[in-house]
Amino acid sequence: MDLKVRLCLLLITLSWTVNLMSVSAQEEDEADVMDMDDGEVDIGDDILEGDAETEATDEAPTEPPIPKVTYKAPEPMGEHFFAESFDKGTLEGWITSKAKKDGIDEEIAKYDGEWEVEDMKDTKLPGDKGLVLKSRAKHHAISAWLLRPFNFDTMPLIVQYEVNFQTGIDCGGAYIKLLSQTEDLNLDEFVDRTPYTIMFGPDKCGEDYKLHFIFRHKNPKTGEYEEKHAKKSDSDLRSYYTDKKTHLYTLVLNPDNTYEILIDQTVVNSGSLLTDVTPAVNPAAEVEDPDDHKPEDWDERPKIQDPDAVKPEDWDEDAPAKIADEDAVKPEGWLDDEAEYIGDPDAVKPEDWDEDMDGEWEAPQVPNPACEAAPGCGKWEKPTIDNPSYKGKWKPPMIDNPNYQGVWKPRKVANPDYFEDLHPFRMTTFSAVGLELWSMSSDIFFDNFFVTSDRNTAERWANDGWGLKKAAEGAADPGLVKQMMTAAEERPWLWVVYVLTVALPVVLIIVFCCTGKKKPAAADYKKTDEPQPDVKEEAEAEAAAEAEAEVEEDEEEAEAEEEEDVKQEEQTADKKSDLEDSPAEEGANDEDSPDGEEEDADKSGEKPEEDILRRSPRNRKVRKE
């Protein structure tokens, strides 16, 4: 009974939990709209808009209007080097490349991909514009100057911007480049080979989802630059490319050479520029000597064949692996004269068969019907079995090589190109940001580019821009019930899942709480010899108690009888002593009363019999200790 109660409570708790989860999910959607960190987004009577009047001709009630979030362009507040929200609706300050890409066909060498400033297709914030990559399968390049160059000294670098793959992404990137400050930097000629300091952002082709962080490190000895790639993120990035929502990408570089990569203000990758990039910033202090060569007599064999081993005389290398089973007997009914396959008797030579061209026509082979009932047809041969005498080709056993010298490696020498840069954060100054992309998808939306050295300023910009989009998207997202209904309309089989999910707990509750094993009535037991469970237990308990009481009573009676016996023996002894003292009286008494003597004799004869019966083991119970 306790188990049923526990199961019922568990099922009821699970049902309440599901209801609370759905309610909390709706409350979170509302909270995303109502709560903003800076308090600059007000959702009240002036923001929540809906139709207050309905037409009288409407038969069905209209759905409540979706809360709307009023857009307000973010304004940079604090130290920053670049801020762009595109809310002016133009490409003012941006320069599209007029160059051509080297080393490819003339038809696709031009950077002729189109850029537009417009709202998102399914915008939840009217008036929030962004930079949109419009063309597919074309090269795109656009860039803009910073307010002033960024120098890597004692302040961190924070770069962030927003991306929305409005139509998904098949193969292409959405990363930005921080263009290095050089004397010949010309944004009109911005191409893939234009020097950059950092490349950062999402990139995807096929099922490879990447989030690049690449920086170009200058070799202090040679002056050459080498690309260093941050380690791959352990997070699953798939949803950021497929959910068609706006995501905020942030890169943080600190003067202590640590870095953080965030998506939607959540860290998805972090590490050190000294230890978590490939190839490593600092080369090895020692390298293998290119002039060192392995000696000709160097023995790298750990095992060799035993030169002293001799093939045993009884080793037969020619013995076959399989032999005929001499104990096998041909099954009875085997048809030796019947072929396993015969020509199809129903087959007819095609009319267009030309024996000169096609050769002599033969009917196709079919299984012989005469062999269907027989164990086999054709010539019977004994089956083969493993040859117990087979040993195969003899080989000498392997032993440890006494001349083994190990695996040869060239000796180590000092690396002539060795250097140690303990401050890779001090990268090349950059003075512009740019997008140089090839994509097989169009309508990639970019917005709210920001470069700063103050993290609080970056977070404030993110809350005013991306935070507003998140709130608007959350307000427009349907509730849990509506999402389930929509999914069921697209996939009708989900109705079965919903019904089972709701009905199964109800059925279990009814089964465990409202039903159970029916206890048989006393009348049912009277019809059979089967005892009632409770009555049987009570009867056993009462019987045990009565047995104990009887034992105690018997013991008390036995003790009382023993005391009486002792008293009677004492009285008998006293009488005997009295008789010995007065024999005359005894004789007189005997003469005067012969009948009394007979009665005494009768009584004395009866008394021993009673004592024997009373003292018999059958009539006495064992005394409890």
The conformation of residue 510, written as its DSSP 8-state character, comes to I
Residue 287: strand pairing partners: 413
| 172 and 194 fall within a common domain | yes
| CA-closest candidate to residue 472, choices 127, 150, 224 | 127
Q: How many domains does the chain have?
A: 3
Strands 365-367, 95-96: pairing is: unpaired
- H-only helix segments in 392-532: 455-476, 480-490, 494-509, 522-526
In a domain, 439, yes or no: yes
| 501 and 461 fall within a common domain | no
| 472 and 498 fall within a common domain | no
| CA-closest candidate to residue 448, choices 39, 38, 130 | 130
| 96 and 221 fall within a common domain | yes
Question: What is the percent of the chain with per-residue pLDDT over 70, rounded to a whole number?
Answer: 72
In a domain, 18, yes or no: no
Q: Which residue has the higher pLDDT, 520 or 126?
A: 126
Phi then psi for residue 286, to 5 deg, are -125, 150
Can you spell out the DSSP letters for 513-558?
II--PPPPPHHHHHTSSPPPHHHHHHHHHHHHHHHHHHHHHHHHHH
| 504 and 445 fall within a common domain | no
Strands 398-400, 303-305: pairing is: antiparallel
| 454 and 492 fall within a common domain | no
The residue range of the domain holding 366 is: 329-381
CA atoms of 112 and 132, how far apart (whole Å): 14
* pLDDT score recorded for residue 469: 85
CA atoms of 255 and 113, how far apart (whole Å): 37
Decide if pLDDT at 454 tops 80: yes
- Which residue carries 């009932």 as its tokens? 373
* pLDDT score recorded for residue 542: 72
In a domain, 199, yes or no: yes
| 490 and 470 fall within a common domain | no
CA atoms of 31 and 19, how far apart (whole Å): 18
In a domain, 406, yes or no: no
**Count of residues for the chain?**
625
Task: Give the alpha-carbon dihedral of 267, 268, 270, 273, to 10 degrees.
Answer: -120
In a domain, 27, yes or no: no
* pLDDT score recorded for residue 481: 64
CA atoms of 322 and 62, how far apart (whole Å): 85
CA atoms of 295 and 411, how far apart (whole Å): 13
Residue 96: strand pairing partners: 142
In a domain, 602, yes or no: no
Contact 236, 207 (CB under 8 A): no
Mean local confidence (pLDDT), 561-567: 74
Contact 49, 65 (CB under 8 A): yes
Decide if pLDDT at 593 tops 50: no
Residue 161: strand pairing partners: 249
CATH number of residue 176's parent domain: 2.60.120.200
| 215 and 137 fall within a common domain | yes
Q: What residue type is assigned to position 300 of the chain? A: E
Helix (H), strand (E) at residue 106:
helix 106-109
Mean local confidence (pLDDT), 62-73: 63
| 234 and 260 fall within a common domain | yes
CA atoms of 59 and 54, how far apart (whole Å): 10
Measured between alpha carbons, how far is residue 59 from residues 50, 52, 56, 64, 605 in Å? 19, 17, 8, 15, 118
Mean local confidence (pLDDT), 173-196: 94
In a domain, 244, yes or no: yes
Domain boundary among 381, 406, 441: 381
CA atoms of 259 and 273, how far apart (whole Å): 7
Instruction: Quick: pLDDT tens for 225-244.
Output: 999 999 998 888 888 988 88
Lowest mean pLDDT among 10-19, 215-224, 251-260, 452-461: 10-19
Q: What residue type is assigned to position 593 of the chain? A: S
The mean predicted confidence, pLDDT, of the chain is 79
Decide if pLDDT at 177 tops 80: yes
* pLDDT score recorded for residue 519: 52
Question: 538 is written with which tokens?
Answer: 């009570």
CA atoms of 283 and 272, how far apart (whole Å): 16
| 443 and 494 fall within a common domain | no
What confidence category does residue 537 fall into, taking pLDDT thresholds of 50, 70 and 90?
A: low
What confidence category does residue 576 fall into, taking pLDDT thresholds of 50, 70 and 90?
A: low
Q: What is the CA radius of gyration of the chain?
A: 52
| 249 and 104 fall within a common domain | yes
| 209 and 110 fall within a common domain | yes
Mean local confidence (pLDDT), 185-205: 94
Residue 266: strand pairing partners: 263
pTM > 0.75: yes or no:
no
* pLDDT score recorded for residue 103: 74
Q: Which residue has the higher pLDDT, 391 or 583?
A: 391
In a domain, 466, yes or no: yes
